[in-house]
Structure 1
Amino acid sequence: MTLPRLLPMAVALTGLACDPAANRVNRPGTPPPHTNPQPSTDWELVWQDEFDGPEGTPPSPERWVHDVGGHGWGNEQQEFNTDRTENTAHDGAGNLVITARRERYNGRDYTSGRIRTQGRYETTYGRIEARIQLPVGRGIWPAFWMLGANIHSVDWPECGEIDIMEYRGQLPSILRGSLHGPRYSAGNNLGQDYVVSGVRLNEDFHVYAVEWEPNRIRWFLDGTAFFEATPAQLPEGARWVFDQPQFIILNVAVGGNFVGPVGRDTVFPQQMKVDYVRVYARPT
């Protein structure tokens, strides 16, 4: 697949890297609304957006940049991403809300939002987390992820991609974390699904995180680790490219290779609510 040079979406995952039945867990704990202490004294908060802006205002331009376009983002997505507050805005209750809408706009049948910290904030290593309530419905594809800051010079997937959280809206109890890099991308990514018994991730806020260290990345849901990736797991001859700065992305896609077409019963608008995004580093 040839991907657009500018910011490909977390691309198609055509198969599961694990047996979902082997990853069923008890219900994770859910933090009280708008509270979550630092994960431990091993981490120090270094960057954050608490999304406390007034209702109807856009995300801070000092922290975020909008991606605008409707070319499919390399994944046959069906939405046009805008910089309008109808698609990305504070709700006045401490959340940023990314809203996917069914509406004809610039040749597309849906609109949504996609924002990134590229040129505003980038990090190498650390604990990167967000507290999010996910949307739901067949063909809805929310994601919290990262891309290498060198994407313009080396392109994708050589820049590296860390998918902290993505899921199919028609499978609201299955979370996926994964890595994309040279020779392990798209349907051949290094990743794992996490099946949560008795929980629909759209029904409440949950904390999605990675702890990214030299030669190791671990994924967490509400403080429970469910996947770890190291260079030893890469295909023979593949390179570990997760030793350089990456920026953060939040978006809600509509349709695409990962989720398939929008279901006739999918209700719009659909919203992803983000309570905060925080980045921690090891104290020096």
Structure 2
Amino acid sequence: MTPPLFSLCQRNSTLGGVEMTVGDRLMTGSDNGWKLIWNEDFEGPDIDLSRWDYDIGGHGWGNNERQYYTKEARNAYIKDSKLIIKAIQEEYEGSPYTSAKLVTRGKADWLYGRFEIRAKLPSGQGIWPAFWMLPTDPQLYGNWPSSGEIDMMEMVGKEPNRVHGTLHMGNPHIYKGGSFALAEGNFADHFHIFTLDWTPEQIRWYIDGELYHKSSEWYSRETEFAEPTPYPAPFNQPFYLMLNLAVGGYWPGSPDESTVLPQMLEVDYIRIYQPEDGKYGPAI
């Protein structure tokens, strides 16, 4: 969750100078030989603590965020078979806002696969929802960012029709990614499906089955002066999943008089697939 450098892509526009076509659309589930290996439908009545843990605390999280993440039921709960993460304006442990951050760290992790999340996003100046991943071994290739970060979806609420997907790597820190803007409406209006395909050779981002960014180029180096770690490091190790709703930060800025609170991130389901035959195929 660091401000990324983007190549921009809109629906029915070009990606890297290549016109996107129906051939770039995503085949889901068994339609493309993928086997469901992890399924979270949030049937409740409570958050399943055998699958999820909470990151708790304030102090900016390295991004000058202004919320305090809690494990209170008012900040994260199940309603109508959906996970609700709610950001609230309230004084708590020295922070002016509360929210929640759920993680699968220590519960589940994955090396490669298709990650699919159906969700409805919040909006408003200073609001920052994210689905992202960090390595299970945070120092396998060195401290962040050398061991990598995968941002499946981020949105800064002042641009409620645009989401971003990014890779972070280093050292020194480099970030690269793309963004997708809806032609009509905002991501707060309806549920959308956010998909990440992570293979040994490529990482791809989709919205509602439409490819908007892909990358086959990354690297890792433990320190700025060390020799690079051989490709495909750092994205060749298990990562765990995180869902959170931040308030404020260097990238989105702080809420202002236009920001309506509370705001909610609603997650309908999370589905993770891997190939039935164990073969991911070439980059596209």
Measure how far apart 1:81 and its partner are: 0.1
Using the alignment, how far apart are the partners of 2:30 and 2:252 within structure 1? 32
| 1:140 maps onto 2:131 in alignment | no
Using the alignment, how far apart are the partners of 2:189 and 2:256 within structure 1? 19
The structure with the greater share of residues assigned to strand is 2
Using the alignment, how far apart are the partners of 1:267 and 1:45 within structure 2? 38
Contact 1:100 1:113 in 2 (8 A): yes
Coordinate RMSD, CA, aligned: 2.3
User: Per the alignment, in what secondary structure is the counterpart of residue 151 of structure 1?
Assistant: coil
**Unaligned residue ranges in structure 1 (runs of 5+):** 1-9, 27-35
Aligned residue for 2:214? 228
Aligned residue for 1:44? 35
Residue-by-residue CA offset, 1:240-259 (whole Å, 9 max, x unaligned): 41000000000000000110
**Which of 53, 56, 59 lines up with 1:68 in the alignment?**
56
Aligned residue for 2:195? 209
Aligned residue for 1:252? 245
- Identity among equivalent positions (%) equals 35
Larger Rg computed on CA atoms: 2
Using the alignment, how far apart are the partners of 1:222 and 1:39 within structure 2? 17
Measure how far apart 1:278 and its partner are: 1.1
Letter in 1 for 2:193: V
Letter in 1 for 2:243: L
**Which of 85, 89, 93 lines up with 1:106 in the alignment?**
93
Measure how far apart 1:272 and its partner are: 0.2
Aligned residue for 1:167? 155
Measure how far apart 1:105 and its partner are: 0.3
**Which of 200, 209, 221 lines up with 2:186 in the alignment?**
200
- CA separation of 1:133/1:268 partners in 2, compared to 1, >3 Å: closer, same or farther? same
Contact 1:149 1:159 in 2 (8 A): no
Measure how far apart 1:129 and its partner are: 1.2
Aligned residue for 1:17? 6
User: Per the alignment, in what secondary structure is the counterpart of residue 60 of structure 1?
Assistant: coil
- CA separation of 1:214/1:283 partners in 2, compared to 1, >3 Å: closer, same or farther? same
| 1:79 maps onto 2:67 in alignment | yes
Residue-by-residue CA offset, 1:57-81 (whole Å, 9 max, x unaligned): 3x21100010000011110000000
Measure how far apart 1:17 and its partner are: 2.0
Figure out how many residues of one structure are paired with residues of the other and give that number: 256
Contact 1:184 1:238 in 2 (8 A): no
Using the alignment, how far apart are the partners of 2:219 and 2:182 within structure 1? 24
- CA separation of 1:179/1:111 partners in 2, compared to 1, >3 Å: closer, same or farther? same
Measure how far apart 1:42 and its partner are: 1.7
Using the alignment, how far apart are the partners of 1:71 and 1:126 within structure 2? 33
Measure how far apart 1:264 and its partner are: 1.4
TM-score (norm. length: structure 2): 0.84
**Unaligned residue ranges in structure 2 (runs of 5+):** 13-26, 222-226, 278-284
Using the alignment, how far apart are the partners of 1:208 and 1:268 within structure 2? 24
